[in-house]
A and B are shown apart, each in its own frame.
Chain A
Amino acid sequence: MHIVVCAKQIPDPETPPSAFKIDAANNKVIPAQGIAPVLSQFDGIAAEAALRIKEANAGSKVTVISMGAESAQAAIKQVLAMGADEGVLLNDPAFEDGDSHTTATVLAAAIKKLGDVDAVFCGRQAADWDMGQVGLLIAEDLGWPAAIIAKGVTTGGAGLQVTRVLENGFESLEAPLPAVVTVSNEFGEPRYPKLPQIMAAAKKTVTNWKIADLGLDAGAVGKAGSRLKLERLFIPEKGGKVELMEGDTPQAQAAALVARLKAEKIL
Chain B
Amino acid sequence: MLQPTNVPERPQRHVGGWWGPAVGVSALGFYAAVTAEGTPGREIGFNADHPWAVYAFMAALVGLMGYGFVRHAGLWMVGRPTPGLLREIPHRLRNAARLGLAQDKVRRDRYAGIMHWCIFSSIVVLTIVTAQVAIEADFPLKFLHGPYYLFFSFYGDLFGVIGLIGVGMALYRRYFSDFHRIRWDERVEDHLIILGLGLVLLTGFLLESARILVTELDQHPDWAPWSFASYALALGLDVFDFSEGQILWLHTWTWWVHITMAFGWLGLIVFTRLDHLFFAPVNAFFLRTDSPGRLAKIEDIEQQEVFGVGYIQDFTWKQLFELDACVRCGRCSEVCPANIAGQPLSPMHLIQDLKGHLANVGPAIQRHQHETGEIGREVSSVALVGDVIKDETLWACRTCGACVQECPVMIEHVPTIVDMRRFLVMNEARIPATAQAALENLEMRGHPWRGTALERTTWMEGLGDVPIFDGSQEYLYWVGCSGSLVERNLPITTAVFRLLREAGTSFGVLGQEETCNGDPARRLGNEYLYQILAQQLIETFKAKNVQKVITNCPHCFNTFKNEYPQFDGHFEVLHHTEFLAGALQNGKLVAKHTVATNVTYHDSCYLGRLNGVYDAPRQIISMVHGANLTEMQRNLSKGLCCGAGGGNMWQEEVGERRVNHVRAEEAVRTGAESVISNCPFCIQMFEDGVPAVHPEEEGRMKPFDVAELLEQAVFGPGAR
A residues lining the B interface (CB < 8 Å) = 12, 14, 16-19, 33-36, 38, 189, 191-196, 198-199
Report Cα–Cα, A18/B484, bound state, in Å.
14
Find chain A residues with CB under 8 A from B450 CB: 14
Tell which of B427, B454, B513 touches A196, judged by Cβ atoms closer than 8 Å. B427
B contacts with A: majority SS? helix
| B458 engages A18 (CB within 8 Å) | yes
Find chain B residues with CB under 8 A from A195 CB: 307, 426-427, 528
Tell which of B425, B444, B451, B512 touches A34, judged by Cβ atoms closer than 8 Å. B512
Q: B628 to chain A: closest CB distance in Å?
A: 41
Is B299 an interface residue, CB under 8 A from the partner? no
| B453 engages A16 (CB within 8 Å) | yes
Find chain B residues with CB under 8 A from A193 CB: 429
Find chain B residues with CB under 8 A from A19 CB: 455
Interface 1/0s, chain B 430-443, versus A by CB < 8 A? 01010010011000
Is B506 an interface residue, CB under 8 A from the partner? no
Is B428 an interface residue, CB under 8 A from the partner? yes
Report Cα–Cα, A35/B485, bound state, in Å.
15
Tell which of B445, B452, B528 touches A198, judged by Cβ atoms closer than 8 Å. B528
Is B290 an interface residue, CB under 8 A from the partner? no
| B445 engages A16 (CB within 8 Å) | no
Closest residue on chain B to residue A39 by CB atoms: B444
Tell which of A12, A191, A192, A194 touches B445, judged by Cβ atoms closer than 8 Å. A12
Tell which of B302, B433, B445, B454 touches A199, judged by Cβ atoms closer than 8 Å. B302
| B453 engages A194 (CB within 8 Å) | no
| A194 engages B428 (CB within 8 Å) | yes
A192-B439, A192-B440 given; A17·B453 CB < 8 A: yes
| B302 engages A16 (CB within 8 Å) | no
Q: List residues of B (405-440) whose CB comes within 8 Å of A's CBs.
A: 425-429, 431, 433, 436, 439-440
Find chain B residues with CB under 8 A from A194 CB: 426-429
Closest residue on chain A to residue B301 by CB atoms: A195
Report Cα–Cα, A194/B454, bound state, in Å.
31
Closest residue on chain A to residue B458 by CB atoms: A18
Closest residue on chain B to residue A202 by CB atoms: B302
Report Cα–Cα, A193/B512, bound state, in Å.
28
Tell which of A16, A189, A196 touches B455, judged by Cβ atoms closer than 8 Å. A16
17 pairs, A vs B, C-beta closer than 8 Å: A14-B445, A14-B451, A16-B453, A16-B454, A18-B455, A33-B512, A35-B445, A38-B444, A189-B436, A192-B429, A192-B436, A192-B439, A192-B440, A194-B427, A194-B428, A196-B427, A198-B528
| B512 engages A192 (CB within 8 Å) | no
Find chain A residues with CB under 8 A from B431 CB: 192
Closest residue on chain B to residue A198 by CB atoms: B528
Report Cα–Cα, A19/B457, bound state, in Å.
11
Count of residues in B whose CB is under 8 Å from the partner chain: 24
Closest residue on chain B to residue A199 by CB atoms: B302
Count CB-based A-B contacts (< 8 Å): 43
Q: A34 to chain B: closest CB distance in Å?
A: 6
Find chain A residues with CB under 8 A from B439 CB: 192
B residues lining the A interface (CB < 8 Å) = 302, 307, 425-429, 431, 433, 436, 439-440, 444-445, 450-455, 458, 512-513, 528
A16-B453, A195-B427, A198-B528 given; A189·B445 CB < 8 A: no
Known: A14-B452, A191-B429, A194-B426. 17 other contacts (CB 8 A): A12-B444, A16-B453, A16-B454, A16-B455, A17-B453, A18-B455, A33-B512, A38-B444, A189-B433, A192-B425, A192-B429, A192-B436, A192-B439, A195-B427, A195-B528, A196-B307, A198-B528
Q: A155 to chain B: closest CB distance in Å?
A: 24
Report Cα–Cα, A33/B456, bound state, in Å.
12
Closest residue on chain A to residue B449 by CB atoms: A14
Closest residue on chain A to residue B485 by CB atoms: A16
Closest residue on chain B to residue A188 by CB atoms: B433
Interface centre among A17, A195, A196 (most CB of B within 10 A): A195
Report Cα–Cα, A125/B223, bound state, in Å.
100
Q: B413 to chain A: closest CB distance in Å?
A: 24
Find chain A residues with CB under 8 A from B528 CB: 195, 198
Report Cα–Cα, A16/B444, bound state, in Å.
14
Q: B436 to chain A: closest CB distance in Å?
A: 5
Report Cα–Cα, A196/B439, bound state, in Å.
17
Report Cα–Cα, A210/B96, bound state, in Å.
69
Report Cα–Cα, A18/B453, bound state, in Å.
8
Find chain A residues with CB under 8 A from B425 CB: 192
Report Cα–Cα, A192/B524, bound state, in Å.
13
Report Cα–Cα, A34/B536, bound state, in Å.
14
Q: Report, nearest first, the 8 A-B pairs whose CB atoms are least far apart.
A: A195-B426, A192-B429, A194-B429, A192-B436, A16-B455, A195-B307, A38-B444, A195-B528
Q: B529 to chain A: closest CB distance in Å?
A: 9
Find chain A residues with CB under 8 A from B426 CB: 194-195
Q: A171 to chain B: closest CB distance in Å?
A: 27
Report Cα–Cα, A34/B439, bound state, in Å.
18
Find chain B residues with CB under 8 A from A18 CB: 455, 458
Find chain B residues with CB under 8 A from A34 CB: 512-513
Find chain A residues with CB under 8 A from B307 CB: 195-196
Closest residue on chain B to residue A189 by CB atoms: B433
Q: B482 to chain A: closest CB distance in Å?
A: 16
Find chain B residues with CB under 8 A from A36 CB: 444-445
Find chain B residues with CB under 8 A from A191 CB: 429
Find chain B residues with CB under 8 A from A35 CB: 445
Q: B180 to chain A: closest CB distance in Å?
A: 39
Report Cα–Cα, A16/B512, bound state, in Å.
13
Q: B597 to chain A: closest CB distance in Å?
A: 35
Report Cα–Cα, A131/B436, bound state, in Å.
28
Q: B432 to chain A: closest CB distance in Å?
A: 10
Interface centre among B426, B454, B458, B528 (most CB of A within 10 A): B426
Q: B532 to chain A: closest CB distance in Å?
A: 11
Closest residue on chain A to residue B457 by CB atoms: A18
Report Cα–Cα, A12/B446, bound state, in Å.
12
Q: A186 to chain B: closest CB distance in Å?
A: 15
Find chain B residues with CB under 8 A from A192 CB: 425, 429, 431, 436, 439-440
Find chain A residues with CB under 8 A from B428 CB: 194
Find chain A residues with CB under 8 A from B444 CB: 12, 36, 38
Find chain A residues with CB under 8 A from B458 CB: 18
Tell which of B427, B433, B452 touches A16, judged by Cβ atoms closer than 8 Å. B452
Find chain A residues with CB under 8 A from B453 CB: 16-17
Report Cα–Cα, A263/B528, bound state, in Å.
66
Report Cα–Cα, A16/B450, bound state, in Å.
11
Interface centre among B431, B436, B440, B528 (most CB of A within 10 A): B440
Find chain B residues with CB under 8 A from A12 CB: 444-445
Q: A74 to chain B: closest CB distance in Å?
A: 10
Report Cα–Cα, A36/B444, bound state, in Å.
7
Report Cα–Cα, A191/B453, bound state, in Å.
26
Q: B565 to chain A: closest CB distance in Å?
A: 24
